[in-house]
Amino acid sequence: MSLTAWMKHTVITVKTRDSARHAREVMEKYRINQLPVVVDDRLVGILTDRDLRDAFPSVIESFASRPRRSGADPATIRVDDVMTPTVLTLAPTATVADAARVMRSERIGAVPIVERGRLVGILTRSDVLDAFVELSRSATEPFPPAGRNGGRR
């Protein structure tokens, strides 16, 4: 099953110079956990909710023994300072099964889809589950009923 039917073709992205605060606001607005980072439609990294949590620990965590950016203001930190620069990607010719294997083995929630160096889509864990539900539904549904006269003409 081709992943192009299931991936999101309009991808919400951020730029390297955007602030971490802006990225968090985008994630909250669109209820997403991964934001591809682009420069001229070319994927240069990915920013996840985990990247932001690690970079800006909560107030409780800031009292722990290992605060990372104590006192840092997310409005002054750029996305390229906290993003993951190495991104696993797939081509549009890959299958949903390929994506599921990569996501499972690498423990990631989304795979950007790249063609000729350009970001053309993203496939999330929810998209993979939707594809699985559709595939399992069509595999378990009975054959369509014959016409009113039993399929005879």
Q: Could you read off the pLDDT of 106-133 as tens digits, one per residue?
A: 999 999 999 998 999 999 999 999 999 9
The half-sphere exposure of 97 on its side-chain side, counting CA atoms within 13 A, is: 2
Residue 55: per-residue pLDDT: 80
pTM (2 d.p.): 0.77
Residue 65: per-residue pLDDT: 44
Residue 141: per-residue pLDDT: 64
Residue 41: per-residue pLDDT: 85
Residue 17: per-residue pLDDT: 95
- The residues pairing with 119 across neighbouring beta strands, listed in sequence order, are 114
The span from the CA of 146 to the CA of 66, in Å, is 68
Name the burial class of residue 125, with classes exposed (0-12), middle (13-18) and buried (19+) by CB atoms within 10 angstroms of its CB.
Answer: middle
pLDDT averaged per 10 residues in sequence order, the chain, 153 residues = 87 95 94 95 93 71 46 80 94 95 95 94 94 82 54 41
Q: Where are the beta strands (DSSP E) in 18-135?
A: 34-39, 42-48, 110-115, 118-124
Residue 143: per-residue pLDDT: 58
